[in-house]
Structure 1
Amino acid sequence: MKKFTVLTGILTIALLLTVGSLSAQAATKWHIGAPKVVRGTWRTAYTHNHHYNPFSYYFRDTFTVNMTDTAGGTTMYNRHHHHVSNGSGWGANAQLHYRQLTNHTYQLRSYVDVKHHKLPLTYRITLSHHNQQLNLTRLNGRPAKLGRFYKVAN
Structure 2
Amino acid sequence: MKKILLALPLAFAIGSTQAADIVDTAKAAGNFNTLITAVQAAGLVDTLKGPGPFTVFAPTDAAFAKIPKAKLDALLKDKAALAKVLTYHVVPGAVMAADVKPGMVRTVEGSSLKVSAPAGKVMVDKANVVKTDIAADNGVIHVIDSVIMPN
TM-score, structure 1 normalization: 0.32
- Structure 1 or 2: more strand by fraction: 1
Please tell me whether Structure 1 or Structure 2 has the larger radius of gyration of its CA atoms: 1
The higher-RCO structure (CA 8 Å, 6+ apart) is 2
* TM-score, structure 2 as length reference: 0.32
